[in-house]
Amino acid sequence: MTTIQGPAVFLAQFISDEAPFNSLDGICKWAADLGFKGIQMPTLDSRFIDLQKAAESMTYADELKGKIASYGLEITELSTHLQGQLVAVHPAYDDLFDAFAPANVHGKPKARQEWAVQQLKYAAKASNNLGLNAHATFSGSLLWQYFHPWPQRPAGLVEEGFAELAKRWMPILNEFDQNGVDLCYEIHPGEDLFDGETYEMFLKAVNNHSRACILYDPSHFVLQQLDYIQYIDFYHERIKAFHVKDAEFNPTGKQGTFGGYQSWSNRAGRYRSPGDGQVDFKTIFSKLSQYDFKGWAVMEWECCIKNQEDGAREGAEFIKNHIIKVTDKAFDDFASVNSSQAFNRKILGL
């Protein structure tokens, strides 16, 4: 077994135009002062990382690592959640998702997809240069708007969607494999990979590619009313990244899992700061430790009630208190006896 690394924090929800969140030095000092040991880095903001340069220049990658290390921090994973989303976009979402890409590819779905694929390939090489072994992303979606079968889905629609999704991701997965990095899809509503069944359909479509792994985030499963503990039993061999994000589900006579188009604070299912929701993190940390998870516990702050800085401060302590320092010996070693084949046969009466 391995002691989970942490605490770490995903920077995406904290980056802004105000200090200390507007520079790498500022945000690193802030994170370190709160007790974080690692940072998961989004890759679209050049104030924090030049992704192409990190892929093409080992000197730059070493300097970036060195600067972060000077604050007592490590990069846990790079993130291409927004770029990954653009690998597969249904036309219904084109206008909304253009915001995730540079202006020169707006209104040009094919060019936008090509840009996104290149971004993922840069991320594979950059991760290698930075000495990372896992990467966080989204799968994108061609099918999400069809998840509720009304009108009835045409025969073969889902299979065709996953075949196309696999076709788009296979070259990216191969690039990650060449760089020795696991590509971890955050299993998430709005993506075609949103639960266990959809992950397995994708895995089959990519021929069980060894790099098609999982970023485990139990909060999304609370909102779906999925057994997030058993999920670990099913998929622990593929779980290579971990978000510590809490959630709660409080159904009423007026709404349930679909949320009634309400704001986040008024939904039956809503995201909360670590420790404020219903997720059983004690069991999760035990399960992941039991299954020898070797990655980081990364806090992702998404809460519809609590201030983000309070959530970060409390989250660092929450993760620290949940990390289990695994034992290096069996609890009953004190009662062990010397053994040999002859002795074993004797006590068996053989």
- Percentage with pLDDT > 70 across the chain: 99
Q: Does residue 179 surpass a pLDDT of 80?
A: yes
Label residue 338 by pLDDT band (50, 70, 90): confident
**Mean pLDDT computed over 160-181:** 98
Chain centroid to Cα 45, Å, comes to 19
Closest by CA to 80, choosing from 162, 169, 199, 200, is 169
**pLDDT value at position 337?**
76
Closest by CA to 49, choosing from 14, 31, 19, 75, is 75
What mean pLDDT, rounded, does the chain reach?
96
Q: Does residue 334 surpass a pLDDT of 90?
A: no
Q: Does residue 328 surpass a pLDDT of 90?
A: no
**Mean pLDDT computed over 14-30:** 98
**pLDDT value at position 335?**
65
Q: Is the dihedral of CA 85, 87, 88, 91 positive or negative?
A: positive
**Mean pLDDT computed over 22-51:** 98
Q: Does residue 329 surpass a pLDDT of 80?
A: no
**Mean pLDDT computed over 331-348:** 80
Reported residue count of the chain is 350
**Mean pLDDT computed over 171-194:** 98
Integer Cα distance of 103 and 82 in angstroms: 15
Q: Which domains does the chain have, with CATH numbers?
A: 5-347 (3.20.20.150)
**Tally of CB atoms within 10 A around 131:** 11
**pLDDT value at position 47?**
97
**Mean pLDDT computed over 68-90:** 98
Q: Does residue 331 surpass a pLDDT of 80?
A: no
**pLDDT value at position 264?**
96
Least confident residue range of 28-32, 264-268, 330-334: 330-334
Q: Does residue 347 surpass a pLDDT of 90?
A: no
Structure tokens at 234: 């099913």
Could you tell me the maximum CA-CA distance found in the chain, to the nearest angstrom? 80
Structure tokens at 110: 């094919």
pLDDT of 120-164, one tens digit each?
A: 999 999 999 999 999 999 999 999 999 999 999 999 999 999 999
Within 8 A by CB and 6+ apart from 53, the residues are 60
38, 6 Cβ separation under 8 angstroms: yes
